[in-house]
Each structure stands twice: as C-alpha cells, then as structure tokens.
C-alpha cells in the first residue's frame, strides 16, 4: 500500500478532471457538512489518510485547523509542498492510520478518512484497529467522517476496466485507467498512466498496483459500532455532498459520519464518541472511556 501511493503521488492530481476545482468543491461541501452537524465552532480536523492533501487543503482554506498524516512519505511531502504554495498552515506527518493513538494527541473535533482509504486494510481486524484508533483521538462528542465505495453496486470479476479519461498538461497527454481483478472479497487494482509527450519523445507507461477489501457497507457499520461509535445515520446521495472523480468512473461512494447527535459515505453514517455504560451482552454502541 505504501509503495502504491509513493509511486502515485506525482500523478494523483491527474485522477481528477480539475484537481484545483475539486479541492475547492470538497472543502466547501465538507465545511458545510461539518458545521451543519457539529456547529460553527467546530475547528480541529485530523485527516488520517491525507494523501497529497485534497481534503486537507480544502478544509484549511475554509478556516479549519487541520492536522494531517498518511503512511506514504512521498504523498505527505507533496501535500506539504502544496500547502506551502497556498500559504496554508497544516501540520503534516507520516503515520499509518492504525497507529495514530501513539502519534496524534487526543481532542480533535472531527477525524476524517476519505477517498476509500480504509478498505486498503484487508481484514475486519485491521479495520477495527483503525476505527478504534480514530475513536480514541476525538474529543467527547466529536465526529468522524469516512468515505468508502458502496461495493454492493460494483461489478465483480476479472479484468474490469475503470476509465478515468485523458488529461493534458502542456505538451504531455496522459491516458488513465484502472483494472480490477476480484479474488473473493478482495480485489487487485492496477492503475495505468500512459504518458505521451506529443512534442515527439517516446510514450512511457507507469503502472501502480495495490489491493482492497470490498467491505460491505453493513459490515463497516457493525465494525464502527463495535469500535465505540453510535448514533448512526445514512444520507443519500452523497455526490450532492462530496463529488469526486469516482463519479466519472461510474462508481458509488458512501460516507460514514460519526457524531454525538443521533442524526447523522453513495451513504453517510453518523456516530458519537460519548461514553456510556458498558454491556457484556451488546456490542453496538460500546464506547471507550
């Protein structure tokens, strides 16, 4: 997973038709979502899978105090450069989302894990570990936003092509697509960038490979409840909240949002980190002390 994003980091922005516009759009939509659910005083955000900074940059530009980490050193280095170029004060560091308990302090208003990052963890146990770590970094009543694909709406099989289209940067044209190969509940992803210098040099192929767990939405919700979140709410359609290049690839996103209120990614879930009495017979809603 780390190698995948290290190799992808110079090209990641090309996944979007217009990365700058997406930064602005997602920042605006996330800001509206966060302030609408947790109030105008909500300020501190922990982005545990920041990549090259798409959501962190957008949120910082909207006035949030953003702390961001990712397991990819190259992605974090690029995110830091992007923030500096925009004169945005974001605290970046390198950390696996499963290890944030020993890396980030407690007390964030919102923890964010976007762009289908958590299904890179290939077992329920690994996902649970990450969710518990996210829960542990929140203030009392804080919230968590996760974005994952709704895999129930995805085709299964071998050699499934997901086109991203053509991008042009000066005299260089990029042809971009993914190929998915399913093996049970996991699938291998090959990400292809064909770099064609139209000024005359030979084209170059860049291929990055990784693996995902096609975790069902309902299973994710159970794991979140077991990790200590409660007050679950599902919102649809999520593309009205957080449009992304995934829509271009005819994929469906869902949003899981966690918060104190009992209201609240193609889906949103809302949980709270408020402590309650432990039960030996019920696992849903158990929270950390």
- 99 and 239 in a single domain? The answer is yes
User: Does residue 268 belong to any structural domain of this protein?
Assistant: no
Tens of pLDDT, residue by residue over 229-265, are: 987 666 664 444 444 433 433 333 333 333 332 222 3
Tens of pLDDT, residue by residue over 130-189, are: 999 999 999 998 999 998 999 999 999 999 999 999 999 999 999 999 999 999 999 999
User: Does residue 222 belong to any structural domain of this protein?
Assistant: yes
What predicted TM-score, i.e. pTM, was given to this entire model? Answer: 0.81
- 184 and 64 in a single domain? The answer is no
CATH number at residue 111: 3.40.50.150
Give me the torsion for CA of 232, 241, 48, 38, rounded to 10°: -60
- 32 and 145 in a single domain? The answer is yes
- 190 and 89 in a single domain? The answer is no
User: Does residue 82 belong to any structural domain of this protein?
Assistant: yes
Question: Which residues constitute the domain of residue 208?
Answer: 160-212
User: Does residue 101 belong to any structural domain of this protein?
Assistant: yes
User: Does residue 145 belong to any structural domain of this protein?
Assistant: yes
- 98 and 139 in a single domain? The answer is yes
Tokens representing 56?
């962190």
Could you tell me what percent of the chain has a pLDDT over 90?
A: 73
Q: Which long-range contacts (CB under 8 A, 24 or more apart) does 35-42 make?
A: 37/143, 37/257, 37/259, 37/261, 37/263, 37/264, 37/270, 38/109, 38/110, 38/142, 38/143, 38/259, 38/260, 42/109, 42/110
User: Does residue 129 belong to any structural domain of this protein?
Assistant: yes
User: Does residue 168 belong to any structural domain of this protein?
Assistant: yes
User: What is the per-residue pLDDT for 2?
Assistant: 86
User: Does residue 289 belong to any structural domain of this protein?
Assistant: no
Domains held by the chain: number: 2
């Amino acid at each position: 997973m780390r190698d995948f994003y290290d190799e992808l980091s110079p090209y990641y922005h090309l996944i979007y038709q217009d990365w700058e516009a997406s930064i602005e759009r997602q920042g605006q939509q996330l800001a509206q979502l966060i302030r609408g659910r947790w109030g105008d005083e909500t300020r501190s955000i922990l982005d545990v899978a920041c990549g090259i900074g798409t959501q962190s940059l957008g949120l910082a530009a909207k006035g949030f105090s953003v702390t961001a980490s990712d397991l990819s050193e190259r992605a974090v280095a690029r995110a830091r450069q992007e923030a500096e170029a925009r004169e945005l004060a974001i605290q970046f560091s390198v950390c696996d989302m499963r290890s944030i308990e020993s890396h980030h302090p407690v007390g964030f208003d919102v923890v964010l894990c976007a762009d289908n990052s958590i299904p890179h963890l290939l077992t329920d146990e690994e996902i649970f570990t990450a969710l518990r770590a996210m829960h542990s970094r929140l203030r009392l009543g804080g919230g968590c936003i996760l974005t994952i694909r709704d895999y129930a709406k995805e085709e299964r099989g071998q050699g499934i092509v997901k086109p991203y289209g053509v991008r042009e940067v000066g005299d260089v044209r990029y042809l971009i697509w993914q190929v998915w190969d399913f093996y049970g509940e996991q699938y291998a992803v090959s990400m292809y960038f064909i770099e064609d210098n139209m000024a005359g040099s030979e084209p170059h192929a860049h291929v990055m490979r990784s693996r995902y767990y096609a975790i069902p939405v309902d299973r994710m919700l159970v794991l979140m409840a077991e990790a200590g979140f409660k007050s679950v709410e599902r919102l649809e359609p999520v593309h009205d909240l957080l449009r992304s290049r995934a829509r271009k690839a005819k994929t469906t996103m869902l949003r899981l949002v966690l918060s104190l209120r009992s209201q609240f990614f193609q889906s949103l879930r809302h949980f709270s980190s408020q402590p309650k009495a432990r039960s030996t017979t019920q696992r849903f809603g158990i929270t950390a002390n």
